[in-house]
Amino acid sequence: MSLALIDYGAGNLQSVRNALKAAGAEDVVVTADPDAVRHADRIVLPGVGAFAHCMIALTAIDGMVDALNDRVIAQGHPFLGICVGMQLMAEAGEEHGRHQGLAWISGTVRRIEPTNPALKVPHMGWNDVVPTRPHPLLQAGEAYFLHSYAFEGTDVLAQTDHGGPIVAAIGRDNFAGVQFHPEKSQRYGLALLSRFLEWQP
C-alpha cells in the first residue's frame, strides 16, 4: 500500500511522515509529483500557515489539484487533510481576503471569535475532540490544536470548544480532515493515523 504525503512547501512533512511510519505505514512517499498522487493508494495533505498561502502553493504545482480531484473525488481513494490541509477542503477561506478552496465540502474557513474575551486566538494546545456522529476515523479524546481560523459548514464529524463550538473534523465518503495535529497528539494522534491506514471507505 503506497501513501502519498503531498509536499507543497506548506506542511511539517517530516513530523507527519514520522507519525505515519510510527502508526504502521510502510510506504510513505513525500512528493510534489501529480503522477505519484495519481498512483497512490492513500493521500495525506498536511498544512500549516495561512489558507491563501497554502492554496496558492498547492495550485502552483502544475496538475496537482487535478490529480487530487481525480484520485480522491472521481476514484474514491482514502484522503486525510491535516490542519490547513483540512481547511482547503472547504469552498473558501477568509484569511487575508476571500480565497477559493478545493470545494469538496460546503463551507467557509473564518477567524475564530470566542464568546469569552479572556480566551486568546490562536486556539493553541490540548483540547477535547467530541465526535458529532459515528465515523471510522474519529473517537473521543484529546488532541493538539494550533489555529486562528476554523471551518464553518456541512459534513462535520467532530467538534471542540474554545469560547464556543469549533469544528475539529469534517468529512464524507472517502475523504476526511482534522483541524488538530495528529503528529503532535501523541497516542491519540497515532491511533487516528493507524485507523486511517486501515480505513476502507
Residues tagged active-site = 83, 181, 183
Helix (H) or strand (E) segment spanning residue 43: strand 42-45
How does DSSP classify residue 42?
E
Extract the C-alpha cell encoding 69.
480531484
What is the secondary structure of 94-145 as a DSSP string? -TTS-EE---SSSEEEEE---SSTTS-SSEEEEEEEEESS--TT--SEEEEE
Phi and psi based region of residue 162 (left: phi greater than 0; alpha: psi -120 to 50; beta: remaining): beta
- One DSSP character per residue, 139-198 reads -SEEEEEEESEEEEES-EEEEEESSSEEEEEEEETTEEEESS-GGGSHHHHHHHHHHHHH
